């Protein structure tokens, strides 16, 4: 059966209409969930409180096999007609970039939620719970089992640890056939390409000394600056898009001291893993050459270099022939939406890099100020986006 016909028949089912009706009537409940979660801090590696709250909601909403796994992910199953076959996963990440002490009381003004993390990714988590609740209320039984996941470690130093656990070490690793990640706001967007990244911390250390009496001692700040200047001369390809950035540089104690240490944080990105590896090699070479040059006449007052990988996200892309992509186009035609294909750095990176079918989509509404203290979320249009998610999910789990 062609995708357009499948979606039309699916959308016409009585149970699907009942789920749509639940979504239409329950926006106040969704807002209440959203406000509750925003009061629970969840920076990377400290998601436990929010995880426990979501676990309790999974139990209340009737999911089976609800538990928190060894990595901290919250999981619950909605059994399908076929229980031991492949699994479709719907996920949203628990963590936010904001540390505990930077979590003000969320406020609701004229229907708009103001709070750090309101969109990224409490909107995604709210959408996850809404789909569970709507399917439960309508007593929908999918073709095969759906795994609902609130995962840890999507942001920054979290390094996708929740998804890595699910796809490499969990009991579900070999059974997940397709993955839909709910990421922030939006109705028509769909991430089908994964931007790979390497995040490095480069540190140059030396003996240091007094700026007058130890003049001539190799200076870690100067050497690191020369290395950065050499990186600026690296020729990057226009296609596939590849970038690098120095996000922070620090070192030294005073204007009268030759510093003992200088370090910087380097972000490398590409949609192509070969280009990413090539760029990383060139960055290492620029750092090593700068230190070697400084040590040529340094005698016993030599510098040393340490480069540590602090982040590693794989690249990948959804095949143009993927069944999941066909489903998305059919659903969007049915709902009269314009499909906006994008690339991004999301939880979908892990399955896409493994060649699995995976996407990331918005959970509805509009948002602004992402990753700032002024972040806001407006739920206008959320119902339509969640209908979209529900249809994609049910067809993927056919």
Closest to 151 in 3D by CA, of 314, 313, 62, 42 = 42
Give the pLDDT of residue 18: 98
* Per-residue DSSP letter, 250: E
- Tokens representing residue 19 in the block: 């789920």
Give the pLDDT of residue 276: 96
Contact yes or no for 305/285 (Cβ under 8 A): no
Say which residue, 11 or 84, is predicted with more confidence.
11
Contact yes or no for 124/182 (Cβ under 8 A): yes
Give the pLDDT of residue 152: 98
Give the pLDDT of residue 26: 97
- The architecture CATH gives domain 3-194+315-396: 3-Layer(aba) Sandwich (3.40)
pLDDT band per the 50, 70, 90 thresholds, residue 300: confident
* Per-residue DSSP letter, 105: P
Give the pLDDT of residue 157: 83
Cα–Cα distance between 153 and 190 in angstroms, integer? Answer: 21
Bridge-partner residues for 343, per DSSP?
193
pLDDT tens profile 235-288 = 999 899 999 999 999 999 999 999 999 999 999 999 999 999 999 999 999 999
Give the pLDDT of residue 299: 85
Write down the mean pLDDT value for the chain: 95
The residue ranges of every structural domain in the chain are: 3-194+315-396, 199-313
Closest to 377 in 3D by CA, of 98, 143, 108, 67 = 108
Asked whether the predicted pLDDT for residue 122 surpasses 80, the reply is yes
Give the pLDDT of residue 156: 80
Asked whether the predicted pLDDT for residue 384 surpasses 80, the reply is yes
**Inter-CA distances, 194 with 38, 68, 133, 396, Å:** 28, 27, 30, 20
Mean pLDDT of 210-232: 95
Give the pLDDT of residue 103: 72
Mean pLDDT of 63-77: 98
pLDDT band per the 50, 70, 90 thresholds, residue 380: very high
pLDDT band per the 50, 70, 90 thresholds, residue 102: low
pLDDT band per the 50, 70, 90 thresholds, residue 297: confident
Asked whether the predicted pLDDT for residue 322 surpasses 80, the reply is yes
Cα–Cα distance between 398 and 390 in angstroms, integer? Answer: 12
Bridge-partner residues for 359, per DSSP?
180
Mean pLDDT of 371-379: 94
Mean pLDDT of 135-164: 95
Which one of 3.30.70.360, 1.10.10.10, 3.30.9.10, 2.60.40.10 gives the CATH number of domain 199-313? 3.30.70.360
Give the pLDDT of residue 100: 72
- Tokens representing residue 321 in the block: 């022939």
Q: How many helices (H) and strands (E) does the chain have?
A: 11, 19
What's the whole-model pTM score?
Answer: 0.91
Give the pLDDT of residue 83: 84
């Amino acid at each position: 059966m062609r995708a357009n016909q499948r979606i039309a028949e699916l959308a016409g089912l009585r149970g699907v209409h009942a789920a749509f009706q639940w979504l239409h009537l329950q926006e106040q409940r969704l807002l209440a969930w959203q406000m509750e979660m925003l009061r629970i801090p969840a920076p990377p590696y400290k998601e436990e409180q929010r995880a426990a709250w979501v676990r309790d909601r999974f139990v209340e909403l009737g999911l089976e096999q609800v538990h928190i796994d060894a990595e901290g992910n919250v999981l619950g199953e909605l059994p399908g007609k076929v229980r031991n076959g492949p699994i479709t996963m719907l996920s949203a990440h628990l963590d936010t970039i904001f540390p505990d002490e930077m979590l003000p009381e969320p406020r609701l003004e004229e229907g708009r939620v103001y709070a750090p993390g309101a969109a990224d990714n409490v909107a995604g988590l709210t959408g996850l719970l809404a789909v569970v609740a709507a399917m439960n209320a309508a007593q929908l039984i999918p073709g095969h089992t759906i795994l609902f996941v609130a995962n840890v470690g999507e942001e920054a130093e979290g390094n996708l640890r929740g998804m890595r656990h699910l796809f490499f070490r969990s009991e579900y690793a070999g059974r997940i056939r397709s993955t839909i990640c709910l990421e922030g706001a939006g109705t028509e967007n769909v991430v089908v390409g994964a931007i790979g990244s390497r995040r490095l911390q480069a540190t140059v250390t030396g003996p240091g000394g007094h700026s007058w009496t130890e003049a001539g001692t190799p200076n870690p700040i100067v050497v690191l600056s020369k290395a950065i200047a050499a990186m600026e001369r690296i020729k990057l390809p226009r296609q596939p898009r590849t970038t690098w950035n120095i996000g922070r540089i620090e070192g030294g104690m005073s204007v009268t001291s030759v510093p003992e240490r200088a370090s910087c944080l380097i972000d490398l990105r590409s949609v192509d893993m070969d280009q990413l590896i090539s760029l990383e090699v060139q960055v290492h070479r620029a750092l090593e050459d700068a230190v070697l040059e400084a040590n040529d006449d340094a005698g016993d007052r030599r510098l040393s270099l340490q480069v540590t990988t602090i982040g590693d996200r794989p690249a990948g892309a959804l095949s143009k022939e993927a069944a999941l992509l066909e489903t998305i186009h059919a659903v969007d035609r049915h709902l009269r939406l314009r499909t906006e294909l994008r690339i991004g750095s999301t939880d979908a990176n892990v399955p896409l890099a493994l060649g699995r079918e995976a996407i990331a989509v918005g959970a509805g509404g509009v948002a602004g100020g992402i990753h700032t203290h002024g972040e806001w979320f407006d739920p206008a249009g959320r119902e339509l986006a969640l209908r979209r998610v529900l249809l994609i999910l049910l067809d993927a789990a056919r």
